Structure 1
Amino acid sequence: MGRVPVPIVPASAPTRGRVVLPRSVLVVGAGLAGLRTAAELRAQGFAGHLTVVGAEDRAPYDRPPLSKELFTRTEPLWLTAEGYGDLGELADRVLLGRRARRLEADGPGARVTLAPAVPGAGTEETLEADVVVLAVGAAAARPASWDHALTLHGADDAERLRGRLVPGARLVVVGAGWIGAEVAGQAARHGCEVTVVEAAPTPLHRQVGAAAGALTVPWYAAAGVDLRCGRAVTAVRPDAVVLAGTAREPAEEVTADVVLAATGVRPATAWLAGAVPLTAHGALPVDAAGRVRGGPPSVRAVGDCAEMTTPDFGAVPGGHWDAALSHPAALAAGLLGRPAPPTPVPYVFSTQLGHDLTLVGQPPADDDVEVVVRGDVAAGFTVLYLRAGHRLAAGLTADRPRDVAALRRLLAAGSHPALDVGRASDPEVPLRRAVL
């Protein structure tokens, strides 16, 4: 086994205030979160040894176009070309096509054992650093028995799916979340016969709640997509998806040429079990600076693999592009003893079935929220999520971009202003004028 040591910080390491500054950082993960971590470290003055490791053998690329532009963008959108940073310029060493297998952080610094992502393509090696930043992302979730279902998370997945979705193909999408809805709309427009199966009562039920999710139901029929909500999948075969029966509908089979499992993602953290704390869903529980709660001081986490808890929004799960883009700034600041920037408001953008959706903030659970709809549901609307006292917790816009900036301003810096419900529900009244 090869071993590439990077010096551990000695007692005479430089400090800023009471913070011992690292002389070496190892970033595990070469997606957006890993790239932005490297860029922020350098931008904030880190001059030590920086290593970045990635499981894929490609340079960092943007993932949202994989579903939003499945048929119109057939090559990865490289993050370097988009101005997010160049690993070759930022890092002293870049190792792509290497998968992390083991983390040891029981002393000063930390060690990560790597193996080739493709078995037989090399030997294991162990890297050491003062600080390890885990930006390992997530992987598409797919039940073990669904061997015939495709997933969509990486560039190879997109290429495989695109090759199967020829005009006239019968596609069954299991899951009406962000990715499922995006692909369904793209495939229907491409000439495929599309059915979407969702176990919850509405699309986007987990992401935006039942009331808001129900407002998107008419979009499916308008796009030529057959939506089946409240239907659980019991089996996936090469030529069909088997649906469980309900009180009103018998069990049935939906014929398919292609099945896409769009049932969410899971943090790619199985290899970390026992080394650092993980939540019940396998995420790394972190604060706004990426420190792992109950974990060793030499380990930080950011991006899709992390669940960040803040006083303003509670536990915010990873899995969204904006978090991977913005959260590395606070992580780098914490490592380098600099003032941390304000925690950004959670933000998600989706283009699905011919509509633009933006979610700002963290919607509370359905039983702990008042939902106010402003605008014309057919032409464009905003859903406001209000806590007790009519305090704004989040907002979902659909084809109503004028409310996005207002929501971000109102929720910035931990603010949850109380709203006049009557004025807030009037689409002609600017949201700022609905604040009490």
Structure 2
Amino acid sequence: MRTVTIVGASLAGLYAARALRSQGFDGRLVVIGAERHRPYDRPPLSKDFLAREPGEPAAEAGALALSDAEEEAELAAEWLLGTPAVGLDAAGRAVLLADGRRIVTDGVVIATGAVPRTLPGPPLNGVQTLRTLDDALALRAELHAGARQVVVIGGGFIGAEVASTCAGLGADVTIVEAVPLPLVPQLGLEMAEFCARLHADHRVRLLCGTGVKALRADAGEPRVTGVELADGRLLAADAVIVGIGVRPATDWLAPSPVALRDGVRCDEGGVSTLPQVVAAGDVARYGELRAEHWTSATEQPAVAVRNLLAGTTVARHTDPPYFWSDQYGSRIQLAGHRGPKDTVRIIEGGPEEGSLLAVYERDGELTAAFAVNRPRPFMRLRRRLSAGRPAAPAVPADGPAGAPAAVRGATP
């Protein structure tokens, strides 16, 4: 290959560029990005970055940058930023850009990530999603300009992190969640209830089981003033954050022969239905799994690039997914593949302590691990998951009288 093009100047895109050079590719390397920024760290956007006093945007973007001038010189890539890709000409082996340019290439790494889902209706000032640096700058300006009644639509991890940050800034925060309890698909009922209690413990109101009917504004005014719920209630709002999930950024691939199914359909090595096209990060579906996690975006590119350079699948990404979230001063961690029929067992701590370590099991085998403020024992379980080791044995029948199934202090 003489030219490889990475579509997506993202975390996964940067790691793909690093992997290409470290694996010996010395040809032309082109990185295309829809945003105007070089790759930057996204996790702080909903947390400490959002809480900081506004500064000079360019300097703040630099503080989040994932690479420096020395590394960029070593990568020797052409950065085409602020111009999204709009098509893939597989027959002509070219990536088409919005400004009309064609980047002729021998291989393509798709790392376009995901885009946030939005609510229907006309745009209103004060209504934000949070995915990009520019989103975070706009939302932070709203919060530091005096927004005190904040409504977060969506109680997932991102919505919870934003709610935590806004509450820390002194705002009156309400989370609206359409399902009866957020995070049940990811955590199961018991652990989801524990996470839900974090909101109440920090004076954040969680309204579940009702959707949003409409966003309200005063007649003739372009700014949001409230959120009307499906059950008829009206919530006053100075700012509204919409966190109802994301969808993979694949619209630009729709006319191409690259197979799509909730992302770019790949094998476990990140190879798409075209051998010269691989994918990594939020946009990629590896087998039956599309993982929207920081670790997937850092681990998948090396595997995908190796297969791209080999022209066939010679390596696979099989590490279990891992995710963390910081809310209200607590570190929440989840690793593995929890199934709907898995049982959960608390092995350290408990809800009353404000910290716990739990395992999910299926037929006696460890499938996933969950922790709140138990990072060291959690990482031991995560290593066990990666090694495919079985779960810790259940409590023996002759254990202490009255001992619960979730024995406190047990070490797997």
TM-score bracket for this pair, using the shorter chain length: 0.7 to 0.9
- 2:202 aligned with 1:227: no
* Aligned match for 2:318, one of 343, 359, 365: 343
* Residue number in structure 1 paired with 2:242: 261
Which deviates more, 29-38 or 232-241? 232-241
* Residue number in structure 2 paired with 1:102: 87
* Aligned match for 1:244, one of 203, 213, 230: 230
Q: Give, in angstroms, the shift of residue 23 of structure 1.
A: 2.5
Q: Give, in angstroms, the shift of residue 60 of structure 1.
A: 1.0
For 1:351 and 1:188, how far apart are their aligned partners in 2?
A: 13
Please tell me whether the aligned partners of residues 268 and 317 of structure 2 are also in contact (alpha carbons under 8 angstroms).
no
Q: Give, in angstroms, the shift of residue 416 of structure 1.
A: 5.3
* Aligned match for 1:286, one of 266, 270, 275: 266
* Residue number in structure 2 paired with 1:299: 277
* Aligned match for 2:191, one of 200, 209, 212: 212
For 1:233 and 1:264, how far apart are their aligned partners in 2?
A: 15
* Residue number in structure 2 paired with 1:13: none
- How many pairs were matched up? 381
For 1:329 and 1:91, how far apart are their aligned partners in 2?
A: 18
Letter in 2 for 1:157: D
* Aligned match for 1:54, one of 7, 21, 33: 33
For 2:271 and 2:8, how far apart are their aligned partners in 1?
A: 17
* Residue number in structure 2 paired with 1:312: none
Letter in 1 for 2:260: L
For 1:86 and 1:319, how far apart are their aligned partners in 2?
A: 26
- 2:153 aligned with 1:180: no
Which deviates more, 123-132 or 142-151? 142-151
Q: Give, in angstroms, the shift of residue 106 of structure 1.
A: 3.1
Instruction: For residues 69-123 of structure 1, give each alpha carbon's deviation from its aligned partner in whole angstroms, at most 9, with x where no partner exists.
Output: 1113852311015x9x83443144221111101111136xx211102xxxxxxx4
Letter in 2 for 1:390: G
- Helix, strand or coil for the counterpart of 2:79? strand
- 2:389 aligned with 1:408: no
Mapping 1:19-38, distance limit 5 Å: 22-38=1-17
For 2:315 and 2:14, how far apart are their aligned partners in 1?
A: 19
Letter in 2 for 1:268: A
Letter in 2 for 1:113: L
- 2:301 aligned with 1:328: yes
* Aligned match for 2:95, one of 100, 109, 112: 112
* Aligned match for 1:360, one of 335, 339, 346: 335
Please tell me whether the aligned partners of residues 329 and 340 of structure 1 are also in contact (alpha carbons under 8 angstroms).
no
Instruction: For residues 13-50 of structure 1, give each alpha carbon's deviation from its aligned partner in whole angstroms, at most 9, with x where no partner exists.
Output: xxxxxxxxx22211111111000000011111112221
For 1:146 and 1:213, how far apart are their aligned partners in 2?
A: 33
For 1:40 and 1:155, how far apart are their aligned partners in 2?
A: 25
* Residue number in structure 2 paired with 1:156: 134
* Aligned match for 2:43, one of 59, 64, 70: 64
Q: Give, in angstroms, the shift of residue 426 of structure 1.
A: 2.7
Q: Give, in angstroms, the shift of residue 151 of structure 1.
A: 0.3
Q: Give, in angstroms, the shift of residue 385 of structure 1.
A: 1.5
- 2:389 aligned with 1:422: no
- 2:127 aligned with 1:144: no
Letter in 2 for 1:79: L
* Residue number in structure 1 paired with 2:259: 277
For 1:73 and 1:38, how far apart are their aligned partners in 2?
A: 33
* Residue number in structure 2 paired with 1:5: none
Instruction: For residues 249-285 of structure 1, give each alpha carbon's deviation from its aligned partner in whole angstroms, at most 9, with x where no partner exists.
Output: xx21111111110111111111111312111x3x112
Mapping 1:4-43, distance limit 5 Å: 22-43=1-22
After superposition, the Cα gap between the structure-2 partners of 1:73 and 1:26, relative to the gap in structure 1 and judged at 3 Å, is farther
After superposition, the Cα gap between the structure-2 partners of 1:67 and 1:361, relative to the gap in structure 1 and judged at 3 Å, is same
- 2:67 aligned with 1:80: yes
- Helix, strand or coil for the counterpart of 2:334? strand
Q: Give, in angstroms, the shift of residue 354 of structure 1.
A: 2.3
For 1:262 and 1:334, how far apart are their aligned partners in 2?
A: 35
RMSD over aligned Cα atoms: 2.1
For 1:360 and 1:321, how far apart are their aligned partners in 2?
A: 12
- Helix, strand or coil for the counterpart of 1:300? strand
For 1:52 and 1:88, how far apart are their aligned partners in 2?
A: 14
- Helix, strand or coil for the counterpart of 2:128? coil
For 2:123 and 2:346, how far apart are their aligned partners in 1?
A: 41
Q: Give, in angstroms, the shift of residue 344 of structure 1.
A: 2.4
Q: Give, in angstroms, the shift of residue 206 of structure 1.
A: 3.5
- Helix, strand or coil for the counterpart of 1:327? helix
Please tell me whether the aligned partners of residues 146 and 236 of structure 1 are also in contact (alpha carbons under 8 angstroms).
no
Q: Give, in angstroms, the shift of residue 339 of structure 1.
A: 5.9
* Aligned match for 1:397, one of 354, 368, 371: 371
For 1:102 and 1:339, how far apart are their aligned partners in 2?
A: 28
- Helix, strand or coil for the counterpart of 1:144? coil
Q: Give, in angstroms, the shift of residue 201 of structure 1.
A: 1.7
- Helix, strand or coil for the counterpart of 1:324? helix
Q: Identity over aligned residues, as a percent?
A: 39
For 2:281 and 2:142, how far apart are their aligned partners in 1?
A: 31
Which deviates more, 159-168 or 62-71? 159-168
Letter in 1 for 2:342: V
* Residue number in structure 1 paired with 2:346: 373
- Helix, strand or coil for the counterpart of 1:403? helix
TM-score of the superposed pair, with normalisation by structure 1: 0.83
* Residue number in structure 1 paired with 2:175: 196
TM-score of the superposed pair, with normalisation by structure 2: 0.87
After superposition, the Cα gap between the structure-2 partners of 1:342 and 1:262, relative to the gap in structure 1 and judged at 3 Å, is closer
